[in-house]
């Protein structure tokens, strides 16, 4: 069992290349502007997405997030509450997608890759456990990934191998998520979309407080 990981130079170099290839974004404070972004450009959900709750829920919240964003950490807790309270009957679910703001958070890309490796070796539940622990330990050093993986009950050796090899699959997944957020017009994190079958999607641009987010969910569930 490994309690820490050494980041290979290749990972650092690769991260710099990816970070340099995408333009500047900023971390978002809470906002009430629902006009930003074009959710019609969102990549359709698939079986590979990280979903908490019922995949067939009436309301799906699709969040694009950064593990080093303080607002995202707070909103992560808010969404957990929403799914627990509003999704008890399977009506509300949450999809997590990666939006690392590498230009202002040097470890954001590494965190995203680590979370994808947790999913790759441990499945959807392992992803959510690792994500929760990563946020709880914000700001986390990449040197602690091994210990965090252990705490999340993610197979340590398999996790270390995935991360050390900087799997093309995980890297492409992170890059695709982020590019999709940018294509929609996201200008920071967290950036979320509320989808309800038969209704126009609603953009939550920023870290909404529980009551504000719940109001949007209640409106989505009405009628």
Question: Residue 197 has what pLDDT?
Answer: 84
For residue 147, being part of any structural domain is answered with yes
For residue 117, being part of any structural domain is answered with yes
Closest CA to 111 of 151, 75, 139: 139
For residue 162, being part of any structural domain is answered with yes
Which tens digits make up the pLDDT trace of 123-135? 999 999 999 999 9
Question: Residue 192 has what pLDDT?
Answer: 97
- What's this model's pTM, rounded to 2 decimal places? 0.85
Domain that holds residue 109: 9-221
Question: Residue 223 has what pLDDT?
Answer: 66
For residue 19, being part of any structural domain is answered with yes
Question: Residue 142 has what pLDDT?
Answer: 96
The answer, yes or no, to whether residue 85 has pLDDT greater than 70, is yes
- Provide the 10 A C-beta neighbour count for residue 56: 9
Mean pLDDT of 37-55: 94
Q: Kindly report the CA angle at 79 between 103 and 75, in degrees rounded to 5?
A: 35
Question: Residue 222 has what pLDDT?
Answer: 86
Question: Residue 118 has what pLDDT?
Answer: 97
The answer, yes or no, to whether residue 4 has pLDDT greater than 90, is no
SS3 of 129-178: the string is HHHHHHHHCCCCCHHHHHHHHHHCCCCHHHHHHHHHCCCHHHHHHHHHHH
CA–CA dist 190, 182 (Å, integer): 12
The answer, yes or no, to whether residue 61 has pLDDT greater than 90, is yes
Question: Residue 198 has what pLDDT?
Answer: 85
The answer, yes or no, to whether residue 8 has pLDDT greater than 60, is no
Sign of the dihedral defined by the CA atoms of residues 202, 188, 23, 139, in that order: negative
For residue 77, being part of any structural domain is answered with yes
Q: What is the CATH number of the domain that holds 73?
A: 3.40.30.10
Which tens digits make up the pLDDT trace of 142-160? 999 999 999 999 999 999 9
The answer, yes or no, to whether residue 28 has pLDDT greater than 70, is no
For residue 22, being part of any structural domain is answered with yes
- H or E segment and range at residue 221: helix 210-221
For residue 170, being part of any structural domain is answered with yes
Higher confidence at residue 41 or residue 36? 41
Domain count within the chain: 1
For residue 4, being part of any structural domain is answered with no
Higher confidence at residue 12 or residue 165? 165
Which tens digits make up the pLDDT trace of 198-218? 889 999 999 999 999 999 999
């Amino acid at each position: 069992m490994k309690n820490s990981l050494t980041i290979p130079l290749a990972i650092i170099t690769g991260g710099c290349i990816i970070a340099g290839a995408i333009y500047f974004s900023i971390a978002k404070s809470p906002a009430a502007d629902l006009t930003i972004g074009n959710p019609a450009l969102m990549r359709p959900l698939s079986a590979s997405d990280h979903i908490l709750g019922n995949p067939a829920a009436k309301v799906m919240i699709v969040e694009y997030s950064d593990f080093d964003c303080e607002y995202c950490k707070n909103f992560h807790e808010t969404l957990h509450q929403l799914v627990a309270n509003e999704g008890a009957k399977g009506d509300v679910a949450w999809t997590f997608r990666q939006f690392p703001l590498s230009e202002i958070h040097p470890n954001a890309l590494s965190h995203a890759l680590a979370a994808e490796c947790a999913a790759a070796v441990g499945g959807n539940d392992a992803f959510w456990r690792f994500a929760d622990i990563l946020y709880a330990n914000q700001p986390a050093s990449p040197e602690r990934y091994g210990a965090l993986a252990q705490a999340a009950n993610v197979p340590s050796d398999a996790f270390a191998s995935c991360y050390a090899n900087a799997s093309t699959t995980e890297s492409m997944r992170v890059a695709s998520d982020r590019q999709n957020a940018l294509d929609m017009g996201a200008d920071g994190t967290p950036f979320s979309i509320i989808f309800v079958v038969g209704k126009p999607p609603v953009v939550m641009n920023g870290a909404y407080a529980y009551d504000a987010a719940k109001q949007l969910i209640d409106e989505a569930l009405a009628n």
